[in-house]
A and B are shown apart, each in its own frame.
Chain A
Amino acid sequence: MSPLLKLEDLSVSFATPRGNLRAVKNVSIELQKGESLGVVGESGSGKTVLSRATMGLLPSTATRTGKIIYKDQDISQLPRNEVRDLWGTGMAMIFQDPMTALNPVRRIGTQLTESLTVRLGMSKKDARAKAIELMKRVRIPDPEGMLKKFPYQLSGGMRQRIMIAIAVSCSPEMLFADEPTTALDVTVQAQVLELLTELRKEFNMGMILVTHDLGVVAGHTDKIAVMYAGDVVEYAPTRQLFNNMKMPYTEALLKSIPRLETPTGTRLPVVEGRLPDPTKNEPGCSFANRCPYATDKCRTETPPLTDGGNQHFYRCWFPIGGGK
């Protein structure tokens, strides 16, 4: 079966006053229909740029190279209006901050029915009925009353549910969720993640879940791509990744998550240091200056993406537990 989405050597760079900033470097990943991929990394790792580049939502300062194959068609070279035709019905996105993603001066009803009337050509009456149905689906209490409200009248969790309802309104085949729960409380986060997984299965959507928290993706994805400084540094099916971690960076990310089992007073293991300057293009592994296992080889030679078997790829000279 050919994949729903396939990225081949996708790179994105931005022209900045300090030089060329390489945000995403030669990323190749693929996603089947109904499958969920977690993209995990720190701020500045390129995870958000990756999902925006795929959807064609980059600013004009960006340069994109590589192929984006969506349903056997390379959409990276399509003119903008044809890419736009894919939005909503083909690909849809949920943004991190539901307050700024919703229009503050328009009613929820207007924002929710817009894509239905524009994209699906529904009549206003049908769109209204569909909007109510969608809101019921994302478990919004009193959907009829909600149509008249403005975003500021809703809690963060409710706003995110509205965003989800808008994103799935035209039954997209591919859903990008960019940190959909980072602005939410843990209780609401759990509910929203559950809802996304339910909808994905119901509509058989492909989903890319972008987050900085490995805890969020563990239970809700089929595979995971860990990003660091624009590179995919580890790429594996979710279980494989957690049970047989190869990258010291992934391990460090996992260890830094506070857990309920940790006894009180324990110091959390920390990845000291910061991401390297993205405008400099230095040789060696980008994680070398923060890696506890780094050697001289790591600082001078860039490790390639290595196939470790079992669909497990990693970018490290000295993977945890040895090579294949």
Chain B
Amino acid sequence: MAGTGKAHMRPDGDRVLVVDDLTVEFNLGKNKVVKAVSGVSFDLVRGETLAIVGESGCGKSTLGKAVLQLPKPTSGSVNFLSKELTTMGKSELRDMRPAMQMIFQDPVSSLDPRQPVSAVLAEPLQVWNKGTQVEIDAKIDELLTAVNLDPAVVRDRRSYEFSGGQCQRISIARALALDPTMIICDEPVSALDVSVQAQILNLLQDMKDRYGLSLIFISHDLAVVKTISTRVMVMYLGKVCEVATPDELYTNTKHHYTKALVGSVPIPDPDRPISGNLIQGEPPSPMNPPSGCRFRTRCPQASEKCAQEEPQLREVSLGHFVACHHPAE
């Protein structure tokens, strides 16, 4: 699995983001290089929620950050709102930032513990001169109300006074403050309880509809992205394995790695046998990835061909792309 290719790109769509052949490498010294993301291409159509799914270390977070040029990718292009970000200077890039926001995994540590909520939300508005103090105050109240927090109660509190779910609501409000076009959500619900997780997923969906956002949703859990995404991209060790709509991906799984991810989702039903479809072990080191298909060392269907030739993404049915020499029937 884990191949390259651009068959899944949609040049005819109204695309807010086009990422082409993006590579991110980290130099560890002593001639050691970690290839966190290797030649990944994808695009994001306006109003879409693209889920990027994979295990720890597959490069999904690095990819999300590289899109925002945090840090700049090693090579490849990132085209956001028809502007090339990778070649931009600092001040130009800064001007783009309000339109592209990020929500982080750990809601508590992503808020400044010394600032009250009102200051956390006021900061981006003041930096970008979005009106007088009165207008900013009104905007803060509007944002807090939008994420279902009571402004009168929460305005003057600090992050440690809130639960994880409430902190994540504040992070979402902060990301919305500058009316962004795109928000990258990096595992926004992984640190939350299931009951709170559902609240935050619903909230993200509401905010997307209300503000006309395009979302990139990074997660390790296929079940979490199922309800809210419109397209899912599965990654393994810095490469793309499979791209499809969520319904298609679960009912007609083609990639053996996606199958393993599907089989790993815990099912709240004691009568359903635990899936025997699990992959063992952990991904190999990205410093020295396997030749050919990167998943072959853990793949039940791996053959000679997989070691020699890297699979390319190809369309197996309408809108369903897979990079595998031996896709499942």
Chain A residues within 8 Å of B, Cβ to Cβ = 42-44, 139, 141, 155-158, 185-191, 193-194, 212-216, 218-219, 238-239, 242, 252-254, 256-272, 274
Rounded to whole angstroms, the CA-CA distance of A252 and B195 in the bound complex is 8
- Select the stretch in B65-73, B76-84, B170-178, B258-266 that faces chain A: B258-266
Taking a contact as CB atoms under 8 Å apart, the answer to whether A260 and B193 are in contact is: no
A-B contact pairs, 6 of them (CB 8 A): A43-B163, A260-B223, A264-B228, A264-B247, A268-B201, A270-B195
Asked whether B220 is an interface residue with its Cβ less than 8 Å from the other chain, the reply is yes
CB <8 Å contact, A215 and B245: no
Chain B: minimal CB distance from A324 (Å): 22
Q: Establish whether residues A189 and B266, one from each chain, have CB atoms under 8 Å apart when the complex forms.
A: yes
Are B226 and A260 neighbours in the complex by a CB distance under 8 Å?
Answer: yes
Quote the shortest CB–CB distance from B232 to chain A (angstroms): 10
Do B199 and A257 touch across chains, with their CB atoms under 8 A apart? Answer: no
State which of B202, B261, B263, B268 has its C-beta within 8 Å of the C-beta of A267. B202
Give the residues in chain A near B222, CB-CB below 8 Å. Answer: 186, 260
B264, B265, B266, B282: which contacts A155 (Cβ < 8 A)? Answer: B282
B residues adjacent to A (C-beta < 8 A) = 55-57, 163-164, 193-199, 201-202, 205, 220-224, 226-230, 245-247, 250, 260-275, 278-282
What CA separation (Å) do A267 and B272 show in the bound complex? 24
Distance in angstroms from B294 CB to nearest chain A CB is 15
Residues of B within 8 A of A44 (CB): 163
Residues of B within 8 A of A156 (CB): 56
Q: Which residues of B contact A267 (CB under 8 A)?
A: 202, 205, 227
Question: Contacts of B227 on A, CB cut-off 8 Å?
Answer: 258, 262-268
Q: Which of the residues A187, A239, A268, A274 comes within 8 Å of B279, measured between beta carbons? A: A187
Contact A258:B199 (CB < 8 A) given known A188-B282, A264-B229: no
Query: Inside 8 A of A155's CB, which chain B residues have their CB?
Result: 56-57, 282
Return the 7 tightest CB-CB contacts between A and B, nearest first.
A215-B266, A268-B198, A256-B198, A190-B264, A215-B268, A186-B264, A212-B193
Q: How far is the CA of A238 from the CA of B269 in the complex (A)?
A: 9
Given A187-B261, A188-B55, CB of A256 within 8 Å of CB of B279: no
- Residues of B within 8 Å of A266, CB to CB, are 227
Distance in Å: Cβ of A291 to nearest Cβ of chain B: 13
* Nearest A residue (CB) for B221: A186
CB atoms of A262 and B267 under 8 A apart: no
A264→B226 contact, CB < 8 A:
yes
Q: A141-B281, A187-B220, A219-B274 are in contact. List 6 more A-B contacts (CB 8 A).
A: A186-B265, A191-B278, A194-B274, A238-B270, A260-B265, A268-B227
- A190→B205 contact, CB < 8 A: no
Q: Is the CB of A268 within 8 A of B202?
A: yes
CB nearest neighbor in B for A241? B270
A218 x B269 contact (CB < 8 A): yes
Which residues of B are found within 8 Å of A272, using beta-carbon distances?
199
A190 lies within 8 A of B263 (CB): yes
Residue of B nearest to A154 (CB): B282
A185 touches B55 (CB 8 A): yes
Residues of A within 8 A of B202 (CB): 267-268, 270
Across the interface, which residues of A come within 8 angstroms of B221, CB to CB? 186, 258
Closest CB-CB distance, B36 to chain A, in whole Å? 15
Tell me, rounded to whole Å, the shortest Cβ–Cβ distance linking B134 to chain A: 32
Instruction: Identify whether the interface residues of A are mostly helix, strand, loop, or mixed.
Output: loop
Chain B residues with CB under 8 Å of A265's CB are 227-228
Considering the chains assembled together, what is the distance between the CA atoms of A136 and B302 in angstroms?
A: 26
State whether A259 touches B199 (Cβ < 8 A): no
Please, which residues of chain B bring their CB within 8 A of the CB of A190?
263-264, 266, 274-275, 278
Q: Measured between alpha carbons, how far is A188 from B298 in the docked complex, in Å?
A: 14
Q: Report the bound CA distance from A141 to B56 in whole Å.
A: 18
Contact A212 B194 (CB under 8 A): yes
Q: Which residue of B lies closest to A40 (CB)?
A: B194
B270 touching A219 by the CB < 8 A rule?
yes
- How many whole Å from B275's CB to the nearest CB in chain A? 8
Q: Which residues of B contact A260 (CB under 8 A)?
A: 222-223, 226, 250, 262, 265
Most-contacted residue by chain A among B196, B227, B229 (CB, 10 A)? B227
Distance (Å) between the CB of A262 and the closest chain B CB? 5
B197 near A258 with CB under 8 A, answer yes
Chain B residue at minimal CB-CB distance from A157: B282
Q: How far is the CB of A134 from chain B (nearest CB, A)?
A: 18
Across the interface, name the chain A residue whose C-beta is closest to B260: A187
Q: Is the CB of B267 within 8 A of A219?
A: yes
List B contacts of A268 (CB < 8 A): 198, 201-202, 227
Q: In the assembled complex, which residues on chain B have CB atoms less than 8 Å from the CB atom of A141?
A: 281
User: In the docked arrangement, what's the CA distance between A194 and B164, Å?
Assistant: 29
B residues within 8 A CB of A263?
Answer: 227, 247
- Known contacts A253-B194, A270-B198; is-contact A242 B269 (Cβ 8 Å): yes
- Assuming the A-B contacts A186-B221, A259-B226, A260-B223, are A158 and B195 also in contact, with contact meaning beta carbons closer than 8 angstroms in the complex? no
- Given contact pairs A42-B196, A185-B56, A214 touches B268 in the complex (Cβ within 8 A): yes
Contact of B262 with A271 in the complex, beta carbons under 8 Å? no
Contact (A264, B230) CB under 8 Å given A157-B282, A190-B266, A215-B267: yes
Given contacts A158-B282, A259-B223, contact A213 B229 (CB under 8 A): no
- Complex-state Cα separation, A185 to B54, whole angstroms: 9
The CA of A253 and the CA of B279, in the complex, are separated in Å by 29
- Give the residues in chain A near B272, CB-CB below 8 Å: 218-219
Give chain B residues whose Cβ lies under 8 Å from the Cβ of A212: 193-195
Whether the Cβ atoms of B226 and A270 lie closer than 8 Å is no
Residue from the list B193, B271, B275 in contact with A42, Cβ < 8 A: B193
Cβ contact within 8 Å between B194 and A257? yes
**What residues of chain B lie closer than 8 Å to A258, measured between beta carbons?**
197-198, 201, 221, 223-224, 226-227
Q: In the bound complex, what is the Cα–Cα distance between A212 and B194 (angstroms)?
A: 7
A274 touches B163 (CB 8 A): yes
B189 closest partner in A (C-beta): A258
Contacting residue for B194 out of A213, A239, A262, CB 8 A? A213
C-alpha spacing A261/B247, complex, angstroms: 9
* Bound Cα distance from A187 to B275, whole angstroms: 11
